[in-house]
Structure formats: C-alpha cells, structure tokens
Amino acid sequence: MLRKLKSWLGVDKQSKYVREYFYMTNMKASIYMSIVVIVLEIWMILRMTRTIFEKNLQSQIWTLTEKYYSNYVLLLSSGILMLLYAIRALTKKHKHKWIAFLVMIMCAAVAVFEVWMLSKYNGSGKKLADLVNYIILLSAAILMMIFSVLLMRGSEDRKWQSLSVMYVFSFVCINFGIIISVNGYAKGEQMLTFLTMELFVICLLVWRPIWGFIVLTVSYLIFYYRISGMIDLSTVGKFTGVVDFSTVETGLGDGIKINGFTMWLSTLLFCIANYNKTLSQAQKDENLEEMNTYLSRISVEDELTGIHNMVYFRSEAEKLLNYVTTDKERVIFLFFDIENFKSYNDKYGFYAGNELLIKFAHEINNSFKGSLVARYSDDHFVVLTQSEGSMDIIEMLSESIHHLQGEVQLSLKCGAYKPLGNESDVSHACDRARFACNNIKKHFGRSFCLYDKTLEERFTLKQYIVNNIDNAIENDCIKVYYQPVVSTKDGTICGFEALARWKEPNYGLLPPAMFIDVLEEYRQIHKLDMCIIENVCRDYRNAVDNNEPFVPVSLNFSRLDFELCDIVGYLGKMADKYKVPKSYLDVEITESALTEQQNFLQNATKKLHESGYSIWLDDFGSGYSSLNVLKDYNFDVMKIDMKFLSGFDDNAKTKTILKNVVDLTKQLGMNSLTEGVETAEQFKFLESIGCDKVQGYYFSKPQPYEEIKKLITSGKLKMPSNA
Ligand code: C2E
Ligand code: MG
Ligand code: MG
C-alpha cells in the first residue's frame, strides 16, 4: 500500500536507467522549450523597443525596463543557457563558448540592474512583492552567470549542472508568467502568459508527481495571492455595462476561481499522466536493454560456467588462425573430457555436478590465460593455445581434477590436434582433437593423445560412416548376417542372431565394431536397426514363401533406439507388413545400456513384453551392475557374455562361475544362452550344467542366410523338425 502510494507520488526509488531516461527526455524537451522561449523573447524585446520609439515612451524607459525588459532579458538568457546545456547533454559536446559568454554578460546586466533597483527601494510606494521580485531576478541572474561560467570552462556533461539549469530556467519561466500576467490582469487583460508558462514547464518537462504538484500549486497560490488584492475586472460591469468603482469590491470573482482551479487540476493531471507514460516507457526500454545485454552476453558466454561458449570460440579461433602474425607451427587445439563425470553426477546429484563443472571451467580458464578457452558441451572443454608449455598445464589440470573428485574417481583426458599448413577450419580441428581424446577414453593411465596419421585413417572412416549411412541403407549395402543359436537339448538350431554388416566398395565388409559406436555417437543408430528389422522380416517372408525352414531371430537394439524413434511401433509395423509372428522376433538389449536407472527403458521393455516379444539380456557380465539389472527388469533369456569362457581351459573358477550363473537364471525363471562357444569341450560343459542355449564359432560364424542354408542342407546344422 505504502509502496503504491510512493510510486503514485513518484517518490519511490528509481533505477539508474530510469533516472537517465528521465534526464534525457527532459533535456530533449528543454531544447524545444528553450527555442520557443528564445524566439518569443527576441520578438517581444523587438516589439517593445519599437513601441517605445513609435509612441515616444522614452520618458518611461526605466519603468518599462523594471517591469518588462529585465524579465525578457533574463528569460532570453536562461532560454539560451538551457539550450546550450541541453545540446551538451545530448551530443556530449560543447562548442559555442562565446554564446555562454554573451549569456553571462546579459545576466550580469540584469543583475546590475536589479542591484540598482534594490538600492533605490525604500519601501515608500513600492509593494513588498516588488522587493521579492528584485531579489528573485537578482538570484536567478547570479545563478545563470555561474552556470555560464561553468559552461565556458568546457567541462564534461555533468548531470547536476544541466538539471540545475533546467530548474532555474523553469523557475524563471513561471516567475515571468506571474509577473507579466499580474501586470496584464491589473489592466484587465487575460492571464494567458502565466497559463502558457505553467503548461510549458509542467507539461513539456517530466516531473515526479509530487514535484509537479508542489511547483504548480505554489505558483498558482503566488499568482492568486498577487491578483487577489486587485479588482476583478473580468466581472465588473458585466451586466450593466457601467462601472461604478465605489460599489465594486476587490477580490477574485467565482469565474476566475473556477477556471483557475480547472486549469490547475488539468495541468496537474497531465503532469501525472506524462510522468507515468514516460516511466512505463523507460521501464519497457530498460527491460529491453536488459534483455539485449543478456542475449549478447549469452551469445558469447556459456550459461552454466560463465566462460566463453563455442560460438565465441569458433569465430575468435578462426580470426586467430587467419592472422598473418600467428605462428601456425606453434598452435595447438586441445580437447578435454572429464572421464567418469556421469558417475559423479549420479552420486552427488545434478547441482554438485554443475558446481564441479563451474570450478573446473575457471581452473582451465585461469591455467590457459591469454589463450582461447571455451566449454564445448557437457563436461567437455576446448582450448586453442601455444604448444610450448601446454603439457605442463595439462598435467597440472589432471592433478587438480583429483582435488575436486570426492569419492568418485575422476580423470582428465586430453586430445590434441595441430592444424596443418593454412588450415583454418575450427570445427574440423575440434573434431580431430575430440577424436584423439575419445581414443584414450577408458585407457587407464593415459591422459594425453595427439592426433596422428593412424588416428587420421580411423577418423576418415568415422566421417565416412556418419556421412554415408543413409546412402548405404538406400543402396542395400547393409546386410544381415545370421549366427545360429543351438539348443543344448537336441543340438538343433533354435534361433538366429541377426548381426549387421556394411558392404563398402572401398573398405570391404565392415564389422559392427567399426560403425555401431560411431552411429550411436552421432545418434544415427536407429536407422541401421530399422533397416535390419525390415531385412530380417523380409528374409522370413521369402523363406516361408519358398517353403524353407526358419527359426526365431533375435535383433540387437541400441538404448538410443528407444529415444530416437518408436522402435517398438516400427517392429510391429514390419511384423504386420511381412506377416511375421511375434514369437519369431526377439529383442536383445545389451547390459551396458541398462546401467542407469532409466524409467523410459523400463517402460519400453514393458511395452515390448506387452506386445508379445521376448526380451533378451545381451552380454550379461560384461558390465558392472549386472545383478541390479536383473532386479529392475524382466528378461526372458540371459545371454552370458563370451568373456566368461575366456579362461575356460586354465582357470578353474570359470566353470564354477558359469554354473552358478546358469543356476541363477533358472531361479529367476529365465533361459540361459552362452555366447562365444568355440570348442566341443565348452559345449559339453555348458550342456552338463543345464545351459539352455549356446552360440559361437563352434557351430557357425555369422553368415548370410544363403550360406546358413547351405550348412543346413549339408547337415552341418540341424533344423528342428517344427521349423
Ligand atoms: P553381440 O550382440 O554380443 O553379438 C555377438 C558378437 O560376438 C558378434 O560379433 C559375433 O560375431 C561374435 N561372436 C559370436 N560367436 C563368437 C565366438 O565364438 N567367438 C568370438 N570371438 N566371437 C563370437 P559382431 O557380429 O562383430 O557384433 C558385435 C556387436 O555389435 C554385437 O555384439 C552387437 O552388440 C553389435 N551389433 C551387431 N549387429 C547389430 C545391429 O544390427 N544393431 C545393433 N544395435 N548392434 C549390433
Ligand atoms: Mg547380441
Ligand atoms: Mg552379446
């Protein structure tokens, strides 16, 4: 309530921007006001001078000077001074010192005249109002002289000076209005000069409502006080046409009181409206300005860490590489990755993770002072710096990350790339440095890797994969290889695993290890998996249509498939299109995809189950959270990772572990399948411990369906009788 009242009166605290806005608005308005005043006063002075000469009024020259001239001259000089100050405030320049000098002379003349008038004042026949008026004019003239001198000294725009001049100017205007109108009123004329000056000062300039009210009310009261002792000539003899002064009382008539009050009220209301309009405009502009500042800041600054972002990095790095003075031989791009940051986030939460990133960002920024440093994304940073000395800084940063890590083992990986010759493609350089960095990920003890020829070949292939996946799918270069899954009960094929191969004209047949990770990194993996789904469904339809045997196929799904597309919906669509029974399509999800608690994956697996597909847990035992995964998800088959078989011959524990894992699957109501069976001993052992299914080179490598058919025909692989 109090705040509302304060803001209504305009006594609340305003921001610097709003104060500046008001100042500039008033300076602009002062320009118009002072120009009008200057023109009017010059005209008035000339007119008065002409009247004096025409009507031979030289004898009254002192009276006229006292009454009008000194006022005109003072108003004229204050108008000129205001104009000079307003121009200086708006242009920040002041060139016309000689005009300020002229103003000073004019004001000095007025001051001398008023001092002389004061010295002549002896109280007899003169009213107190005249004395007050001499003092007012003298003070205004002295103030004006001071400000003329300040302006002549050519100092910079000082707000308090311009505002003081504005207040003195307003004061002189209103005082002029009162004097002229009081004189005019005494002669039965209108009080238009007073009203005009009021409108000028109160409505053209922007006043806080409380000040507008005070200035307006005080000036009206003074004016009414000055004229109240006079006869109201506007009402005298109105009805009779005859003026009998003996019967007329002095004082103000109702007409003038009501009109005066209405004028006072409308001017005050206009003053308040003007203030509020300007204030809201100022606040709107301030918000816009703040927004612009914010936008321009975030366009070059990383929002979280406050260091530069990639937009800034790219443009500055490009400029730097193109400078003739840059010694390109010594320039190096560094890409940093905080390994295991995800685990830190999981353990300490999102905010603590952000805190760590902010601290590290400042650490890296300070360590590479004078170099270009930016946050690339997530926990990745890039630096463009001089190669000399950078190794020491990298080591120091690797050390410092351990101080921030808490209970989670963090390590800093750095990839480096030295641009060749005139190379100036920043994105290209960052990509290579990143590639070098990724190359040492999960390599304990390695924290630095320089991009070299070997990496270049791998990088080129990676680029090729990302750029050509669409073409490869379109041109039928993605092939499905089938690897049989054999039942330990009767040694027949109980399923196939569909494994992708990329037939590439230049590189030959690419195994999944060369493209799966790349496609996942560039979020293109769903395209491949969708292609494999359709190929498998089509193969099923062809086989069935040709009366060839076929068994259920397990498809490898990536965790990203569930994010990047409606893979379950697509699987259903393809099954419908090629009329494949759902029991012929199983879905493998690798264990490492399930390490985090992900609701969406739980929902997706639930949806798959509800749609009638079996879900297999792939590569069980290759990750770290196997047992939790068993608790959180429902699987039909557990595929035991081939790593379990790696020490089969010489490590006695292998068999015990395998047996226990197979028992565990039974207890959890799942079927077990062991991958990577390569020998008859392994097969026999797995059969003996009750492992339901096996898969491996011992039976067949993954092959095109045509080749598998040959193995079946030759009797090397046996199909079940119901296939
Ligand atoms: P996975 O799903 O665990 O597939 C089994 C991998 O083990 C296959 O490698 C297979 O060739 C290999 N393998 C099978 N038996 C033996 C054996 O006795 N000894 C040895 N040393 N290896 C054996 P491949 O075909 O290179 O596939 C590698 C991985 O790529 C797969 O592992 C799977 O995770 C992924 N992958 C393959 N095709 C696709 C696909 O279409 N989509 C997705 N998302 N991933 C796929
Ligand atoms: Mg698999
Ligand atoms: Mg596997």
Q: What are phi and psi of 522, to 5 degrees?
A: -95, 15
As a whole number, mean pLDDT of residues 144-161 equals 85
Neighbours of ion ligand 3 (CB under 5 A): 618-619, 675
Residue 255 — pLDDT band, cuts 50, 70, 90? low
Q: Which two tokens stand for residue 41?
A: 């006063």
Provide the pLDDT for residue 209: 92
- Percent of the chain past pLDDT 70, that is, above it, reads 93
| Average pLDDT score over the chain | 88
Q: How far apart are CA 493 and CA 236, in angstroms?
A: 126
Mean pLDDT lowest among 145-154, 256-265, 676-685: 256-265
Provide the pLDDT for residue 633: 86
Q: How far apart are CA 593 and CA 623, in angstroms?
A: 9
Neighbours of ion ligand 2 (CB under 5 A): 556, 588, 618
Name which residue leads in pLDDT, 124 or 652.
652
Q: Which ligand is nearest to the CA of 495?
A: 2
In 3D, which of 606, 612, 480 has the Cα closest to residue 533? 480
Residue 249 — pLDDT band, cuts 50, 70, 90? very low
Q: How far apart are CA 367 and CA 399, in angstroms?
A: 13
Residue having the nearest C-alpha atom to atom 41 of ligand 1: 500
**Which span out of 124-138, 337-351, 665-679 was modeled with the highest average pLDDT?**
665-679
Q: What are the Cα distances from residue 92, in Å, to 84, 86, 87?
A: 11, 9, 8
Residue-wise pLDDT for 527-570, tens only, equals 999 999 999 999 999 999 999 989 999 999 998 999 999 999 99
Query: Is-above-0.85 flag for pTM?
Result: no
Expressed in angstroms and rounded, the spacing between residue 196 Cα and the centre of ligand 3 is: 93
Is 500's pLDDT higher than 90?
yes
From 556, 641, 643, 707, give the residue whose CB has the most ligand 1 atoms within 8 Å, as the site to mutate: 556
Provide the pLDDT for residue 243: 42
As a whole number, mean pLDDT of residues 474-501 equals 96
Residue 719 — pLDDT band, cuts 50, 70, 90? confident
Residue 238 — pLDDT band, cuts 50, 70, 90? very low
From 510, 564, 675, give the residue whose CB has the most ligand 1 atoms within 8 Å, as the site to mutate: 675
585 CB-side CA count, 13 A: 29
Provide the pLDDT for residue 315: 92
Residue-wise pLDDT for 1-56, tens only, equals 777 777 777 778 889 999 999 999 999 999 999 999 999 999 988 988 888 888 77
Expressed in angstroms and rounded, the spacing between residue 589 Cα and the centre of ligand 2 is: 7
Is 722's pLDDT higher than 90?
no
Residues with CB under 6 A from ligand 1: 483, 499-500, 511-513, 516, 525, 528-529, 532, 556, 558, 588, 590, 618-619, 642, 675-678, 695-697, 702
Residue-wise pLDDT for 94-104, tens only, equals 777 889 999 99
Q: Which two tokens stand for residue 459?
A: 């990088």
Q: Which ligand is nearest to the CA of 586?
A: 2
Query: Residue 385: enclosing H or E segment and its boundaries?
Result: strand 380-386
Expressed in angstroms and rounded, the spacing between residue 480 Cα and the centre of ligand 1 is: 12
Residue 257 — pLDDT band, cuts 50, 70, 90? confident
Expressed in angstroms and rounded, the spacing between residue 534 Cα and the centre of ligand 1 is: 19
- Percent of the chain past pLDDT 90, that is, above it, reads 59
Furthest CA-CA distance within the chain? 145
Residue having the nearest C-alpha atom to atom 17 of ligand 1: 676
Residue having the nearest C-alpha atom to atom 24 of ligand 1: 512
Expressed in angstroms and rounded, the spacing between residue 585 Cα and the centre of ligand 3 is: 17
As a whole number, mean pLDDT of residues 151-176 equals 88
From 477, 479, 499, give the residue whose CB has the most ligand 1 atoms within 8 Å, as the site to mutate: 499
CB 487 within 8 A of CB 715: no
As a whole number, mean pLDDT of residues 513-526 equals 93
Provide the pLDDT for residue 549: 86
Provide the pLDDT for residue 244: 45
Provide the pLDDT for residue 242: 44
Q: What are the Cα distances from residue 240, in Å, to 189, 233, 248, 255?
A: 20, 13, 13, 17
Is 246's pLDDT higher than 70?
no
Could you identify the atom of ligand 1 that is nearest to the CA of residue 516? 45
Is 234's pLDDT higher than 90?
no
As a whole number, mean pLDDT of residues 250-264 equals 73
Write 219-225 long-range contacts (CB < 8 A, 24+).
219/174, 219/177, 219/178, 219/194, 220/260, 220/264, 222/178, 223/177, 223/178, 223/181, 223/182, 223/191, 223/194, 224/252, 224/260
Expressed in angstroms and rounded, the spacing between residue 675 Cα and the centre of ligand 2 is: 9
Residue-wise pLDDT for 285-326, tens only, equals 999 988 888 888 788 999 999 999 999 999 999 998 888 777
